[in-house]
Chain A
Amino acid sequence: MAEAWIRGKSAALDAAIAEAASLLAASRLPLIAGLGTDVAGARAAIKLAQTVGGVIDHMYSEALLRDLDVMREAGMMLTTPTEARVRADFLLLVGPGLIEAWPALPKRLFANRRIVWLCPGAAAKPENTYQNMVVVGDNPFDLPVILAGLRARCAGRPMAHLPLSPATIDSLVADLRKVRFGVAIWSASQHDELIIEMLCGLVADLNKGTRFSGLPLAATDNAAAVQQVAGWMTGFPLRTGFGRGLPEHDPWRFEASRLIDSGEADCALWISAYGAPSPIWKRRPPLVALTARPDTSGADITIAVGRPGIDHDAVEHLASTATLSAVRAKKPSTAMSVASVIGKIRAALPTAKPC
């Protein structure tokens, strides 16, 4: 049974779809945001954005773009969580937020190898520490300086004013050089681009003598998959707009909250099938919400959708393999998928969009 609301009142699905389509069609620049959805939902959402000349952004683009900015400005050596599991003899955990980003990390990767955790901060709780793990540094605030120190010493250059003793740094550098296949793990939600770039530079430098790779942990709500879909469908990552026909990418211009707060986007479609709450925006243009946790107070149109991999089969980014994979529904239900709701909205659009 489909559930839909128009301005807080329970409504027939068809009526809600028709109203959503007319809001999007009347908009001069519709924003399609949130994008917490499976691959089919992302494909449908991007197709819709193309049709209505809108903009696409994901709720976790900020973290995605930090890693991507380092890659597309400097370069990166990467590996997969599966290769790390079978090959790594050493893990360099960098900063906090790792277990939050991937709760299965200890179970998947912590056994049978040496681990150094740099500046875990509050994450250095007893339940997160293991016999084979050494914690180096403490305050995540020190991380940029420590990484810079490691990289400098790796290159044989002097350093000063470090929060750690020179002996600690030099001994870690010696350790890093000795590993056979090391993997550095971080979560971009915790670091700015310069920290990530310094870390990736360190990893690249270590490959002059041994093998070392990086493993960035993906943002949640299927962000990594949605970025891939955007990549193949448009040639660009998220924060891409179709207002001028061909896709254009601009991380500043097409950032969701800026578009809303500035008034440039005059209508929004918010998609959140994994249960993330609605965004807090300063302005409130006409809003259509497709959500797995309907909160009927906020949006003009709310349509309940099923959770990918729970209510319906889905293709999602799997943290354990870093691949797109087909996932069977754990509790199949009749709840509609994002893709099917958007399909209905597209079908309800007037055929020619008024200029």
Chain B
Amino acid sequence: MKFLDEFRDGETVAKLVRAIERRVTRPWTIMEVCGGQTHTIVKYGIDEVLPAGIELVHGPGCPVCVTPLEVLDKAHTIASRPEVIFCSFGDMLRVPGSRGDLLQLKSQGADVRIVYSPLDAVQLAAANPQRQVVFFAIGFETTAPANAMAVWLAARRGLTNFSVLVSHVLVPPAIAAVLDAPDNRVQAFLGPGHVCTVVGYAEYEPLVARYNVPIVVTGFEPVDMLEGILMTVGQLEAGEARLENQYGRVVVRDGNPASVALIGDVFEVCDRKWRGVGSIPRSGWRLSEAYRQFDAERRFEVEAIETTESSVCISGQILRGIKKPHDCPAFGSTCTPDTPLGATMVSAEGACAAYFAYGRLKSVDGARRLQPSGEVGV
């Protein structure tokens, strides 16, 4: 497929790896923010072809993983109601809340449906006026235009039987939380390409300045990621900290103006809890006052539900790049994708689930070391 095959081409990948090898003289720790990028790295073994000393650590950018337990419990409560058709993206169905997951609820007779797009849920509401259709609106900035469009369209069509359970999270406050952690070891970031397609990267420039850290907005294919790493390493080796854009074929500085305007109309910034991390100020979106009548939490009176995470797992440290999946004694034994203990195992894009899926049960670190001369040795 055009714009995919050429960005997965082995020869181009090899050229970029050689260019990175030529550039590196010292070890560097780089975080890829987005779960989709983590998936590419592990799937294609990008971390294994890089010069030793370049360590990729995996960031908090998996919205399915970080959706807090209490929101899942609210979803469970709403979806249990007989009048409700509860619609969700497929990846949310198997995420366990404290009372089980939505798939189990469906098997017990609840009307839980997977939709491809939030706009499909609006269609469903129009076709079923006697039922209440609720869409589980989770995601980072990438998913916000589609979710906002669904709400806007429902308002325009005067649908009174459509509502959304919103758990939107934002990337820049999460990057700041990673950098503010006292044990942070991340020296540069591969920025989230699709988030920036929507909202642009102007918001990342203050982070670069405040923390003196390079951020390179990067795409999701192997060629994109290796070029992003090459640009990042170039800055680190030169002692620079700038915002650069590797993903120019879809990302411009100010994002998509129509999307930014619609999001600003339908949503407003709020504090948000992140599963495994805790509350981060001003790190999410909720419906703005003008669209509050579409808020499923209000409509079904589940605002008061609170759940305490009782987790023995280390997903919070993995989400902040402090630890890797194999550092956890439960990884691959008591904690697997079928019986996940925490955030990073619940979705295919979580770092633990990606490591498990591609058989990364042991650490590859230490197999190769960067020699003082800068040459890669065994």
Asked if A and B bind, the verdict is no
